[in-house]
Amino acid sequence: MITEGKTPNLLGLPQAGLEAFFADLGEKPFRARQVMQWIHQRGAGEFAVMSDLSRELRVRLSQVAEVTLPRVIVEKTSVDGTVKWLFESGAGQAVESVFIPEPGRGTLCISSQVGCALDCAFCATGAQGFNRNLSTSEIIGQVAHANRALPRRHGGEAAVTNVVFMGMGEPLANYRNLLPALELLVADLGYGLSRRRVTVSTSGIVPHIERLGDECNVSLAVSLHAPDDALRDRLVPINRVHPIAELLDACWRYAAKRANRFITFEYVMLKDVNDSPAAAETLAKLLSNRPAKVNLIPFNPFPGSDFRRSPEDAIAGFQARLRRHSVIATTRKTRGEDIDAACGQLAGKVSDRVRIRLSEKNKRTVTA
């Protein structure tokens, strides 16, 4: 676990925070810029290597601050090149990240919480319950680790070119720690990723979709999974708090804030549950003539789940029906199945889970 106690972990401080830290030390703001580049671009793990700082300042920093990455418990590599890491998260718990190499890009799928309180019916993380939010250092530490562990790309670019918050947890339920992590990902002196290459995936915490649109308009993916409230109430229980119409309104406003960028709608294909031609028709009505793309995700089974994956022809038929209504639709290629790294299979290790049940009454607890 990364201690967020007395010694500040500079890994999780975006530029403004780092400048305030150096101001407290009586140092100039450009020190913050130098240290940011050392940590996030040059992979420094200790102050001693930061050769453009004076020896005196390096010694002082090592006394008052740290750069601590999460500890890796296990690394697994799939036959398809996907890499999964299990990071220690304190009290015998762990979270997972997955690196997916593709021609021209390297996508890192990262976690935002230990477990998840939102309890979606088809999700291994949800089945485990919720323990706690990850700190900003623990979120960004997953990217920092991957870039240190993986070889650089041709031309010297860092291995991670895209980041998606599709690992364990609901990122918008950890908004306070998510926002500085996003700032570091898009900062020129941080990871320098364009907002397009950073995707927050949410099951639909509407008030925080609005905030994100104003504060850091990265790409948005929304876990829709059902075309009507009756079914979505069952599959994605947060729908009882923020139903489809309210969610879609927030999505269209989000898209409008930045040159009508497309929202991706994730739709897990569950056999005989949400994969009928009628469901495709209803979904098409909701999304046609909107800045929307649908990404169909073949369900990935996990121990204890009763759902089954829709057959390939049902998925292809569903996709074709959406396209007939001019809705852009793709099917996600399943990667890393042999190492349990596919969507929805990330279980990490959640112990001492805090029993939070989603209901109207306790929604404040869930989204704090």
> Smallest distance, Å, CB 112 to ligand SF4?
9
Length reported for the chain: 368
Q: Which of 96, 266, 275, 340 binds ligand SAH (CB under 6 A)?
A: 266
DSSP letter at 81 equals S
Among the options 109, 116, 216, 343, which is catalytic? 343
- Known active-site residue 96: yes
Of 192 and 243, nearer to ligand SAH (C-beta) is: 243
Contacts of 326 (CB under 8 A, 6+ apart): 288, 289
* Single-letter amino acid code for the residue at 37: Q
Report, in Å, the least distance between residue 184 CB and ligand SF4: 22
Whole-Å CA distances, 128 to 79, 81, 85, 120, 348? 27, 27, 19, 11, 9
From the number of C-beta atoms within 10 Å of its C-beta (0-12, 13-18, 19+), residue 178 rates as buried
Query: Which of the choices ligand SAH, ligand SF4, none does residue 10 contact, using the CB cut-off of 5 to 8 A by kind?
Result: none
Tell me the per-residue interface mask from 147 to 176 with ligand SF4, x by CB under 6 A, - otherwise: ----------------------xx------
Whether residue 343 lies in the annotated active site: yes
Q: Is 120 near ligand SF4 (CB under 6 A)?
A: yes
List 88, 96, 138, 183, catalytic entry: 96
The tokens describing 21, both together, are 């830290």
Using CB under 6 A, pick the residue from 118, 193, 347, 366 that binds ligand SF4.
118
Within 8 A by CB and 6+ apart from 236, the residues are 118, 120, 121, 203, 204, 223, 224, 225, 226
Q: Site map for ligand SAH, 299-328, x if CB under 6 A?
A: xx----------------------------
CA dihedral 270, 272, 275, 276 (to 10 degrees): 180
- Is the Cβ of residue 19 or residue 138 nearer to ligand SF4 in the bound state? 138
Helix pair 15-24, 29-36: axis angle to 10 deg = 130
> CB of 310: closest distance to ligand SAH in angstroms?
11
Interaction residues for ligand SF4, span 192-211 (CB under 6 A) = 203
First to last CA, the chain: 22
Select from 17-25, 114-122, 144-152, 179-187 the region that touches ligand SF4 (CB under 6 A). Answer: 114-122
- Nearer residue to ligand SAH within complex by CB, 10 or 127: 127
Distance CA 197, CA 173 (A): 21
Q: Catalytic residue numbers?
A: 96, 343
Binding site for ligand SAH (CB under 6 A): 120, 122-123, 166, 170, 201-203, 223, 266, 268, 297, 299-300, 343-344
